[in-house]
Amino acid sequence: MASSCHASLISFSLILTMLSFSNAQPAAPAPGPAGTPNLTAILEKGGQYTSFIRLLKETQLDKQIESQLNNSYNGFTVMAPTDNAFNSLKAGTLNSLSQQEQVALALYHVLPQFYSIESFQTLSNPVRTQASGSNGVYTVNITSATNQVNISTGVNDVTISNNLRTTFPLAVYSIEKVLLPNDLFGAKPPKAAPPPAPAGKSSKSDSEGPSEAGSSTTANSAVGIKWSSLAGLSINFTNHKPVHTMASLLNISLFIPLSLLFFITVPSLAQPVAPGPSSPPNNLTYILEAGGQYTTFIRLLISTRVDVQINSQLNNSFNGLTCFAPTDNAFNKLKAGTLNKLSEQEQIEVVLYHVLPRFYTLAMFRTTSNPVNTQASGSKGADTLNITSSTNQVNISTGVVNTTITNTMSSSFPLAVYSIEDVLLPYSIFGAKPPAAAPAPKPAKSGDKTPSTTEAPSAGESTSSDKNSGINSKARAMQWTSFVGLILTSVIWGMV
């Protein structure tokens, strides 16, 4: 009996221990809704973010956020200005910005991490945005007190007025002012004054004083090297004859070995240690510049601000990125005016089409599933690639052009960069367009009809004359029937 009670107590204590461990374990976050959240749909549901939606679409940022949400373990936070916020801007504020600056402005409203209202209370300032890149510019200061979150840009201040979505991986908050980055709208520092012109050379004077060895100098004498504060000695060597005194000989005898020791040891100490070989930084522009033949692609990356987005995403992506970099020869092979005829939005789409939202080695291309999404795909699955690999050759097809990888420029996680000799032209922009439907015939106007022209009746319709003739034929038939009936009646009456 005692043993059974003892066993029961042991079992009960084990159960309590297991329960205590399970309670101590931090609870996993509740699963979010199935599928990737759609920022545009969230804003459209809010009903007062038309201007911000238009800015997101024009800069292709809507597609990029949707693509990055699938590859980010930190999530994103979006500060969404209302239409009233845009209307309160000075007239022409957005139009005065270049396309690159508009992209920066849109990215400035996106934080590369998911923040709940509570997490703003423990935030460290300054807070990076998607426009910050690796330079640490375009930051905001965020403070929180008593359920109020304040955001400061250095140009204007605003508070969060509404929560549109607070479920990981995307938080969307409404604000009543457009966040104006200090880097674009802040006061510009005054231009530095030009440096003063270098003074003209002047001859040495007697102000330098005589040497400590007892020799004197003149204005015309050449000044030698002055070694001072070296082991307590101060000796001035000039082109004068030495003064042969016991003190000077003693100073010189002490100085020579010390100076030799100085020349041997000091340069070795001052010489910087050569840095060992290091891997290239995760900076796409740096890698392309080192390649030396990607000037056009670099210019496109910078003008569309995709370089900043990529560098920012590399810090917040657990899947990494892969970039196909067309050479300058690839751009030169395009038909003249191909890029210039594209809208700014289409240029951004073309650049994003060269970036895959995942790190791929050459070996991984052998097992990839087609079609492969790009940074331009978004949630609709458009702007995809077909990639095949065989015997150390990787083929890429867009439906418009086919090309192969010719060189590996970077293959270290999280960024892989491969050189290609053709610009990847997305089918959605450069593919064959379906023939336009024939225009519908214009309806005839009632005033165009003339008395001499009449429309032909359709198969199921009859004209007024046809109707009249039908009525007359029926009347004649009835008359004949009545006449025959009278004759028959009179005949039968006569027989009776």
pLDDT of residue 31: 40
pLDDT of residue 10: 47
For every residue of 192-253, which 3-state class applies, written as one string? Answer: CCCCCCCCCCCCCCHHHCCCCCCCCCCCCCCCCCEEEEECCEEEECCCCCCCCCHHHHHHHH
Tell me how far apart the alpha carbons of residues 351 and 310 are, in angstroms, rounded to a whole number. Answer: 11
What the block records as the tokens of 53 is 């939606």
Judge if 39-184 and 284-430 fold alike in CATH terms. yes
Cis peptide before 414 (omega within 30 of 0): yes
What is the pLDDT, as a whole number, of residue 108?
93
- Specify the pTM: 0.53
- Burial of residue 79 (CB within 10 Å: 0-12, 13-18, 19+) is buried
Q: Which residues are CB-neighbours of 359 under 8 A, at least 6 positions away?
A: 319, 320, 321, 322, 413, 414, 415, 416
User: What is the fold, at CATH topology level, of the domain defined by 284-430?
Assistant: FAS1 domain (2.30.180)
Cα–Cα distance, 250 to 129 (Å, whole number):
68
Closest to 174 in 3D by CA, of 45, 307, 303: 45
For 233, phi and psi rounded to 5 degrees? -105, 150
Provide the token pair at 209: 């004083």
Scanning the structure block, which residue is given the tokens 């702007």?
A: 383
The topology under which CATH files domain 39-184 is FAS1 domain (2.30.180)
Yes or no: say if 216 and 222 are a contact pair by the CB < 8 Å rule: no
Spatial separation of the C-alpha atoms in residues 268 and 255, rounded to whole Å:
20
Alpha carbon distance 117, 164 (integer Å): 12
Rounded distance between C-alpha atoms, residue 376 and residue 66, angstroms: 10
Q: How far apart are the first and last CA of the chain?
A: 131
Q: CA of 283: how far to CAs of 82, 358, 403, in Å?
A: 34, 16, 25
Q: What is the 3-state secondary structure (H, E, C) of 62-123?
A: HHHHHHHHCCCCCCEEEEEECHHHHHCCCCCCCCCCCHHHHHHHHHCCEECCCCCCHHHHHC
C-beta separation of 108 from 186 below 8 A: no
Report CA-CA distances (Å) from 361 to 1, 2, 217, 291, 355.
67, 66, 73, 19, 14
Sheet arrangement for strand 386-390: 355-356, 321-326, 415-420, 402-412, 393-397, 386-390
Check residue 465 and give its pLDDT: 46
- Residue 199's pLDDT is 62
3-state secondary structure string across the chain:
CHHHHHHHHHHHHHHHHHHHHHHHCCCCCCCCCCCCCCHHHHHHHHCCCHHHHHHHHHCCHHHHHHHHHCCCCCCEEEEEECHHHHHCCCCCCCCCCCHHHHHHHHHCCEECCCCCCHHHHHCCCCECCCCCCCCCCCCEEEEEECCEEEEECCCCEEEEEEEEEEECCEEEEEECCCCCCHHHHCCCCCCCCCCCCCCCCCCCCHHHCCCCCCCCCCCCCCCCCEEEEECCEEEECCCCCCCCCHHHHHHHHHHHHHHHHHHHHHHHHHCCCCCCCCCCCCCHHHHHHHHCCCHHHHHHHHHCCHHHHHHHHHCCCCCCEEEEEECHHHHHCCCCCCCCCCCHHHHHHHHHCCEECCCCCCHHHHCCCCCECCCCCCCCCCCCEEEEEECCEEEEECCCCEEEEEEEEEEECCEEEEEECCCCCCHHHHCCCCCCCCCCCCCCCHHHCCCCCCCCCCCCCCCHHHHHHHHHHHHHHHHHHHHHHHHHHHHHHHHC
Q: Where are the domains of the chain?
A: 39-184, 284-430
Contact 51, 176 (CB under 8 A): no
For 47-62, how does the pLDDT look when each residue is reduced to its tens digit (9 = 90+)? Answer: 999 999 999 988 878 8
pLDDT in tens, the chain (496 residues): 445 544 454 454 444 444 443 443 333 334 444 567 889 999 999 999 999 999 998 887 887 787 777 666 788 999 999 999 999 999 999 889 887 788 889 989 999 889 999 999 999 999 989 888 666 688 999 999 888 999 999 999 999 999 999 999 999 999 999 999 998 898 876 766 667 766 654 444 444 444 444 444 444 443 443 434 434 444 444 444 444 545 454 454 555 555 555 444 444 444 444 444 444 457 899 999 999 999 999 999 988 878 887 877 776 667 789 999 999 999 999 999 998 899 887 888 899 999 998 899 999 999 999 999 898 886 666 789 999 998 889 999 999 999 999 999 999 998 999 999 999 999 989 988 767 666 767 766 655 544 444 444 444 444 444 444 454 555 565 665 556 565 665 555 565 5
Nearest alpha-carbon partner for 326 in 409, 205, 266: 409
Q: What is the pLDDT of residues 354-411, one digit of tens each?
A: 999 889 999 999 999 999 989 888 666 678 999 999 888 999 999 999 999 999 999 9
HSE at residue 251, side-chain half, CA atoms within 13 A, is 20
